Amino acid sequence: MALAALCASPVATAELGFVVIGVDDALRANILNHNDIFRFAESAALSDHGLNDITQQSIDNARAALRPYGYYEPDIRGRYYRDADGEPVIELTVKPGAPVVIRRMTVNVEGPGASVRELRRWKSAWPLAAGDRLDQVAWERQKARGLEIANEAGYLAATYRVRRLALDLPGRSADAELVMETGPRFVIGNIEFGDHVLQPGVVEYIPRFESGDPYTVQLMDDFRLDLWRTGYFTEVNVIETRHPEHDPPTVDLRVELETETRNTYTGALGYGTDTGVRLQANWTKQPMSLRGDRIDVGAGWQEVNREFAIRGAYRLPIANRAREYWVVDAKISFENQDLELKRTDEDENFLTIANGDVDERHVKGGWLKVLNAESGEKQTFVKPFVQYLNSERSYSLIDPDQFADAGGPDPEIEGLLRGIDNAFSVGVDFDIVAIVGQAFETRGYHDRAWIFASDSAIGSEVDFLQVYLSTRRSYLRGQRWKYILRAEVGYTDADVHTVNVDVDGIPIELSVTELPNFYRFKAGGSASVRGYDFEQLSNNNVGSNSIVTASAEVEYRLSNKWSAALFADIGNAFNDWSDAKLKLGVGVGIRWYSIAGPIRLDIAQARDFTDRPWRIHVTIGTPLL
C-alpha cells in the first residue's frame, strides 16, 4: 500500500521562467545555461522565500557566466514575479560593465610541423588580438582546434609548451601566450594484413602508402574507404598502434578483414532535367576468384530520347604490381532521336525533320595504373586503351513535303538520315582526382585528359584524332564562401563537309563532321552551359568536332545544409574555330546538402538566344565529379 501511494503521488514540480535583459544573444544564452538547474523546481521551492534564494543564486550564476567573455565587474539586478497564469518568473537586468581587454597576445608554433600550411592558416586566423575583449570561449576553442589540425597532419605528439592567460583585474587587462610544440611527424610503420581468402599480391597493394610514408588522418580515412570500395570485404577493421619512442615515431597498422564472394544487386529511380525520369539496375560479383577480379553488369533507361543501355565492366588486379589492373568496358545502347535543324545559331527553336534510331556498340579495353601522391589525397589514373565502336543510325523523314525539291530531300542529306560507322582507335586517358571534405566543405579538383586516334592503317573505316582537357575546382574561403570553377576544351581533327538543304523554302547550310556520333561534342545542360537545353549547343544539333566551355560559380552558406549560388557559364560546340560563337548563360541556384548528396536547383537564362528564355536545371551530386 505504501509503494502504491508513492507511485501514485510523484513529487510535484513546476517550470520556472527566466528573462535576461541588457546583453546580446551569446551572453544571454550562457547566463540561461548557468541557471538551467533551476528550470524545474519543486513546488515547495517556489514560495516567496524560496524564490528570493533562487534569485540571489541566479545573480551569482550570471556573474560566473559572464567571466569567460571578459566581464568581471557586471551590475546585475534581479527580481521575481508571477505571470498572468501565476507561473513564477525571474528577471535579470544585466549591465556587463567594462570588459577585460587583451594587452598582449602571442601565438607561436615550434617544431618540425611549424611549416604545415593548415597550422599557418590556424595561426593567422587567430580570433583574438591586442585590443580585443577577452573571450576565453574562443581561446579554448581555438586551442583545441590547433591540436586537432596538428594530429590530422601526423604530429600526434603535439602539445602546448606554453599556455598562459594572466589577468590583471584592477587594470582590466590580460596577457595571453600560447606556444605549440609539434614534435616529430609520425610515419607509417609495419602494415600487417590479417587472414583473408585472396591470393598474395592483391590486398597488399591496395594502400596508397608504404611503410615510412608520413602519417595523416586523411590517409587513414582514405585507406579504410579504399578497402570498402574494392567490394572484397564484408568486415574491415584497421587497428592503429602508436610508437612515440621510435625514431621517427611510427604508427603500426593491423588490418582485420573478412572476405567472401558476394553478389550485390542495386537499383535506382531518379530524375534530372537533362535525362528526365531514369531507371537503373546493377549486378556486381566480387571477388570472382582468389585473384580479386570483379564484374559489373548494369542496365538503364532514361526518358530523354527513350535511351536504353546495357553496360558491363571487368577488372583484374595484376598480381604483385601495385595498383595495376587489366580493365574492359562494354556498352550497347539504343536511342530514339529526333533529327533537328536550326535556321540560325541565335534561334532557340528547332525544325524537326526526321525521327529514328541510333544504335551503338562500344568496347574499350586497357591497362589501368593508379598513381598516388605522397599525402594520399591525390590519385592519378593512367589508362592506355584500345577501343572499337559500331554505330548505326536510321532516320525517317517526318514530312518529305517540307523540302522544296518535289522529288524529296536533297541527296546530300541522306548521309544524315542513314549510315554505319565502324571505328577502331587507340589512345590514353588521364584522370586526376584530389577531393576532400563532405557536404559544403567538399573541396579540391578533378582534371581529365585524353588523346586517341582512329586510322585506316589499324583497321578503322574513319580517320580522326581527338584531344580533350577539362578541370573542375572548388575553393573554400572562410566558413561561408565557396568558389567553383569549370573549364573544358576539346579538339578533333576530322573531315567536315557542307550540306545545303531547303526546308519549307528556307535554305539551311549545315556543317557536318564525319566523326562518329559517339565521339561528337555537344554543349548545354546542367553540367555544361546552364540556361540552354541538354546538348542543345552544337552545329545544328548534330554534334561537332570541337568544344569550349567555362563556368564560374560562387556559393554562400545559409545554414548547415542549405546554400545559395550565383553563376555564369559560357561555351559552345563547333566545327570552325574562327566561328565558335560562344553562348552565355547566367543564373542563381539553391543547394541542399542531403544524405544522398548535394541536390542542386538552378534557374538560368540563355543570354544569346533571341527571346532570352529561362530554364530550370536539377542535378544531384558534387560538381567536382
The pLDDT tens digits for 186-215 are 999 999 988 887 887 788 888 888 899 999
Report the pLDDT value the prediction gives residue 564, as an integer from 0 to 100: 96
Report the pLDDT value the prediction gives residue 235, as an integer from 0 to 100: 84
Nearest to 446 by CA among 435, 460, 456: 435
Mean predicted confidence (pLDDT) in 146-161:
94
Q: Please tell me the least confidently modeled range out of 3-7, 98-102, 237-241, 269-273.
A: 3-7
Q: Please give the Cα distance from 459 to 479 (Å, whole number).
A: 56
Q: What percent of the chain has pLDDT over 90?
A: 51
Domains of the chain: 2-95 (3.10.20.310), 101-181 (3.10.20.310), 187-259 (3.10.20.310), 277-317 (no CATH), 318-620 (2.40.160.50)
Higher model confidence: residue 409 or residue 545?
A: 545
Mean predicted confidence (pLDDT) in 90-104:
93
Give the confidence band of 402 by pLDDT, cuts at 50, 70, 90.
low
Distance of CA 213 to the CA centre of its chain: 27
Mean predicted confidence (pLDDT) in 283-302:
89
Cis peptide before 287, with omega less than 30 degrees from 0?
yes
pLDDT for 405 beyond 60: no
Give SS3 for 4: helix
Mean predicted confidence (pLDDT) in 348-373:
86
Q: Do the Cβ atoms of 572 and 528 come closer than 8 Å?
A: no
Report the pLDDT value the prediction gives residue 11, as an integer from 0 to 100: 43
Report the pLDDT value the prediction gives residue 1, as an integer from 0 to 100: 40
pLDDT for 392 beyond 80: yes
Give the confidence band of 103 by pLDDT, cuts at 50, 70, 90.
very high
Q: Please give the Cα distance from 113 to 154 (Å, whole number).
A: 9
Q: Please give the Cα distance from 555 to 588 (Å, whole number).
A: 10
Report the pLDDT value the prediction gives residue 341, as an integer from 0 to 100: 76
Distance of CA 469 to the CA centre of its chain: 21
15 CB contacts (<8 Å, ≥6 apart)? 39, 40, 87
pLDDT for 614 beyond 70: yes
Q: Please give the Cα distance from 418 to 411 (Å, whole number).
A: 12
pLDDT for 101 beyond 80: yes
Give SS3 for 201: coil
Buried b (16+ CB within 10 A) or exposed e, 44-81: ebbeeebbeebbeebbebbbebbebbbbbebebebebe
Buried b (16+ CB within 10 A) or exposed e, 164-184: eeebeeeebbbebebbbbbbb
Question: Which residues does residue 359 pair with via DSSP β-bridges, in sequence order?
Answer: 334, 392
Give the confidence band of 320 by pLDDT, cuts at 50, 70, 90.
confident
pLDDT for 403 beyond 80: no
Complete edge-to-edge strand list for the sheet that includes strand 250-259: 187-193, 250-259, 233-243
**Residues 480, 483, 489: CA angle, nearest 5 degrees:** 165
Q: What percent of the chain has pLDDT over 70?
A: 92
Mean predicted confidence (pLDDT) in 350-362:
86
How do residues 548-602 score in pLDDT, each as one tens digit? Answer: 999 999 999 999 899 999 999 999 999 999 888 899 999 999 999 988 789 999 9
Task: State the average pLDDT for the chain.
Answer: 87
Mean predicted confidence (pLDDT) in 300-324:
88
411 CB contacts (<8 Å, ≥6 apart)? none
Q: Please give the Cα distance from 346 to 537 (Å, whole number).
A: 10
Q: Do the Cβ atoms of 431 and 448 come closer than 8 Å?
A: yes
Give the confidence band of 10 by pLDDT, cuts at 50, 70, 90.
very low
Q: Please give the Cα distance from 341 to 582 (Å, whole number).
A: 18
Q: Do the Cβ atoms of 216 and 145 come closer than 8 Å?
A: no
Distance of CA 409 to the CA centre of its chain: 49
Mean predicted confidence (pLDDT) in 252-269:
85
Distance of CA 587 to the CA centre of its chain: 21
Report the pLDDT value the prediction gives residue 7, as an integer from 0 to 100: 43
Report the pLDDT value the prediction gives residue 8, as an integer from 0 to 100: 42
The strand ranges marked E within 244-306 are 250-259, 262-272, 276-286, 294-302
Q: Do the Cβ atoms of 416 and 395 come closer than 8 Å?
A: yes
How do residues 231-248 score in pLDDT, each as one tens digit? Answer: 788 888 999 999 999 999
How do residues 20-79 score in pLDDT, each as one tens digit? Answer: 999 998 899 999 988 877 665 555 456 777 788 888 999 999 999 999 999 999 999 999
Count how many residues are written for the chain: 625
Q: Do the Cβ atoms of 89 and 82 come closer than 8 Å?
A: yes
Report the pLDDT value the prediction gives residue 230, as an integer from 0 to 100: 80
Report the pLDDT value the prediction gives residue 2, as an integer from 0 to 100: 44
Grid coordinates of 294 = 570483379
* 10 backbone dihedrals φ, ψ, rounded to 5°: -65, 160
How do residues 486-537 score in pLDDT, each as one tens digit? Answer: 999 999 999 988 877 777 677 777 888 889 888 999 999 999 999 998 888 9
Mean predicted confidence (pLDDT) in 426-440:
90
User: DSSP secondary-structure letter at 133?
Assistant: B
- Beta strand 173-181 with 159-168: parallel, antiparallel or unpaired? antiparallel
Grid coordinates of 301 = 533507361
Cis peptide before 248, with omega less than 30 degrees from 0?
yes
| Alpha-carbon torsion (517, 521, 526, 532), positive or negative | negative
Q: Angle, to 10 degrees, between the axis of helix 217-229 and the axis of helix 136-152?
A: 60
Q: Please give the Cα distance from 27 to 133 (Å, whole number).
A: 13
The CA–CA distances, whole Å, from 549 to 469, 537, 614 equal 11, 11, 19
pLDDT for 300 beyond 90: yes
Grid coordinates of 589 = 541556384
Give the confidence band of 542 by pLDDT, cuts at 50, 70, 90.
confident
